[in-house]
């Protein structure tokens, strides 16, 4: 969960209900125990490792890990980026009979901040690449100076292997910036490279700088690469198996931090239940909010989630989902609702219910100053995502 500080076809998804229940009577109100008993077997813990891929208009590909607000570290070697992919935990819940699971976008895609706060990287690629170029030039200059000092008798290597265009960039940057940050880093770097190794490093950096300069003139599209995506069920299902999954659809709207993943087996595992009841009576437990419905201030709310991932969920009796409760502390708007439910990272993607058993929101972020000021995405947007053509394009 965030703390605020700062190939698939195009057919439209029509979900089959997980239940044949078409009851039309108004369901009895649910307390915390009722919510837990009815829905906990449908809530899963998600483990994700992923990174991003950029395909440029000239066909060249590059990769990066977590996008920074002001800096993008591209690598043209996928293996380097894949090795740095970190493991993230979150929560999800079954929303269809074919093994579909709803969660947050940031659970399956690494982000340092709210999706809505990330500037469109695809539009900023040229400037981000040139910033990376400048940093690489700065580091190259450090290596060149090291080479000149240690291997002065072979200065011809530098003259021959470093193009004039790069020298020009170095001269331009030296007149406009101070290298205090770089010096602070490089002073701790021991001169351990052999002459051959240092030559290879310099040649590699020259090639990288030249590649970056070429790609800075190209447009690019960003996609998500999933290294691993695993799902674990609550122990009450009596199913201890871990299931592999893949991305089914991603949000198109940066204000709606949602994603749909699908188990590779394309069915709900034994013991698990589906908590949604889309396309059936609107009085059924688990239905999402309609566009006309709001969550009033002081409405009691219940969240099912895996706070802090396995570090809290793992018990002597298996993986256990937690229920936390509170109330709406601000009336819901078009996208989200604020509530006093206490949460921790790992609860992102968890379903939020009211006393009518409605799925009112999907937990996604909170204020850093308190664990009791948290937000959920209004569930209507999940319904919309489920009923539109699957999308794999990253909204960055």
Of the ranges 6-20, 156-170, 373-387, which one carries the lowest mean pLDDT score?
6-20
The pLDDT-based confidence of 72 (bands split at 50, 70, 90) is confident
Q: Does 390 have pLDDT greater than 50?
A: yes
The pLDDT of 127-145, averaged and rounded, is 90
Q: CA-based diameter of the chain, in Å?
A: 91
Sign of torsion, CA 175 180 181 185? Answer: positive
Q: In whole angstroms, how far apart are CA 200 and each of 13, 158, 169? A: 52, 12, 21
The Cα angle at residue 174 between residues 173 and 176, in degrees rounded to 5: 65
Average pLDDT, the chain: 85
Q: How many CB atoms lie within 10 A of CB 28?
A: 10
Residue 15 has what DSSP assignment? P
The pLDDT of 373-391, averaged and rounded, is 93
CATH class of 2-122+222-386: mainly beta
Task: Give the pLDDT score at 370.
Answer: 62
The pLDDT of 26-45, averaged and rounded, is 91
- Going from N- to C-terminal start, the domains of the chain cover 2-122+222-386, 123-215
pLDDT digits (tens, 9 = 90+) for 231-278: 999 999 999 999 999 999 999 998 999 999 999 998 999 999 998 754
The pLDDT-based confidence of 179 (bands split at 50, 70, 90) is very low
Task: Give the pLDDT score at 41.
Answer: 95
Residue ranges in the chain assigned as alpha helix (H): 32-39, 78-84, 105-108, 121-150, 156-161, 164-174, 180-186, 195-215, 310-313, 380-386
For residue 303, the cross-strand partners are: 324, 352
Task: Give the pLDDT score at 16.
Answer: 37
**Residue 136: which region, alpha, beta or left (left: phi > 0; alpha: psi -120 to 50)?**
alpha
pLDDT digits (tens, 9 = 90+) for 43-58: 999 999 999 999 999 9
**Contact (CB, 8 A) for 1 and 374:** yes
Phi, psi dihedral angles at 367 (to 5 degrees): -85, 135
pLDDT digits (tens, 9 = 90+) for 180-197: 444 434 444 545 688 899
Tokens of 8: 């698939």
């Amino acid at each position: 969960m965030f703390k605020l500080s700062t190939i698939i076809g195009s057919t439209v998804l029509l979900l089959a209900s997980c239940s044949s229940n078409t009851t039309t009577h108004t369901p009895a109100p649910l307390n915390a125990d009722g919510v837990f008993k009815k829905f906990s077997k449908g809530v899963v813990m998600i483990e994700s490792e992923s990174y991003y891929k950029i395909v440029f208009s000239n066909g060249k590909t590059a990769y990066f890990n977590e996008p920074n607000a002001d800096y993008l570290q591209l690598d043209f070697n996928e293996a380097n980026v894949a090795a740095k992919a970190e493991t993230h935990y979150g929560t999800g819940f079954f929303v269809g009979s074919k093994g579909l699971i709803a969660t947050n976008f940031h659970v399956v895609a690494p982000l340092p901040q709210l999706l809505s706060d990330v500037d469109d990287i695809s539009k900023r690629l040229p400037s981000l690449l040139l910033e990376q170029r400048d940093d690489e030039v700065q580091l190259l200059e450090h290596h060149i100076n090291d080479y000149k000092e240690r291997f002065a008798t072979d200065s011809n290597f530098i003259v021959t292997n470093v193009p004039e265009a790069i020298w020009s960039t170095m001269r331009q940057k030296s007149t406009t910036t101070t290298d205090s940050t770089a010096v602070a880093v490089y002073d701790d770097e021991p001169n351990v490279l052999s002459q051959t190794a240092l030559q290879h490093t310099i040649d590699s950096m020259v090639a990288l700088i030249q590649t970056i300069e070429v790609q800075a003139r190209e447009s690019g599209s960003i996609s998500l690469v999933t290294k691993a995506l695993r799902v674990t069920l609550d122990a009450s299902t009596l199913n201890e198996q871990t299931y592999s999954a893949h991305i089914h659809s991603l949000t198109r709207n940066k204000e709606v931090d949602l994603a749909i993943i699908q188990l590779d087996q394309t069915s709900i595992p034994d013991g698990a239940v589906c908590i949604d009841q889309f396309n059936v009576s609107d009085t059924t437990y688990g239905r999402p909010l309609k566009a006309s419905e709001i969550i009033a201030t002081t409405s009691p709310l219940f969240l099912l989630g895996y706070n802090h991932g396995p570090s809290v969920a793992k018990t002597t009796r298996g993986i256990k989902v937690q229920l936390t409760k509170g109330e709406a502390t601000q009336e819901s708007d078009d996208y989200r609702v604020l509530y006093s439910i206490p949460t921790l990272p790992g609860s992102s993607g968890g379903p939020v219910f009211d006393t009518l058993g409605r799925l009112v929101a999907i937990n996604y972020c909170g204020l850093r100053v308190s664990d009791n000021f948290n937000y959920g995405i209004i569930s209507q947007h999940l319904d919309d995502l489920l009923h539109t053509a699957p999308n794999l394009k990253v909204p960055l």
